[in-house]
Amino acid sequence: MFYFVIGATEISYERNLSEDSSIGIAVLIPTSEEARLDINYVLTPYYRLFFNNKPAQGFFFEGFGMLNSTKEYQYFYYEDIPNGNYTSTEERKNVVDFALGIAIGGKFVLREKIVAEVTGGIGRNLIQSNEYRYTAVVPRFNIAIGYRF
């Protein structure tokens, strides 16, 4: 739900391993034209450890990996000093990176099968890059409503 703010949709699936742990995977896809200018996709597998007496709900600690593909733009301007004209070129390329990170959050059952979730965390891209506009730190924030089956 949070991703609607940036113009993207996240779809996720989570499987309970026990009463206090689960694994899951989330896929983020840009839905707005503005988000498509920067993001190709984000694939995030995760593991959660819950701290509550109720099965797979309440507050949790999360460890995640994040395969992220973004678009990088670099602009070059060439100036012709004698007559004051200049030309410009734009270079575009896709950059794929992998991050590891941690998050905390809460998952709460609202009705029998309806759940609400809030997650916040941070990760670090592991592939070293000297690319223009390289982002070493990646966020993981989510506000979601889902169905438990």
User: Would you state the CATH architecture of domain 2-147?
Assistant: Beta Barrel (2.40)
Transcribe 102-148 into DSSP letters. EEEEEEEESSSSEEEEEEEEEEEE-S----TT---EEEEEEEEEEE-
Q: Enter the tokens of residue 73.
A: 């733009």
Residue 97 backbone dihedrals phi, psi, to 5 degrees? -140, 165
Higher-confidence residue of 32 and 112: namely 112
Higher-confidence residue of 40 and 17: namely 17
With contact defined as beta carbons under 8 Å apart, do 2 and 142 qualify?
yes
Q: What is the pLDDT of residue 32?
A: 77
Q: What 3-state class would DSSP assign to 81?
A: coil
Q: Enter the tokens of residue 82.
A: 């004698």
pLDDT digits (tens, 9 = 90+) for 120-143: 999 999 986 656 556 788 999 999
pLDDT digits (tens, 9 = 90+) for 36-68: 667 889 999 999 999 988 888 899 999 999 999
Q: What is the pLDDT of residue 1?
A: 42
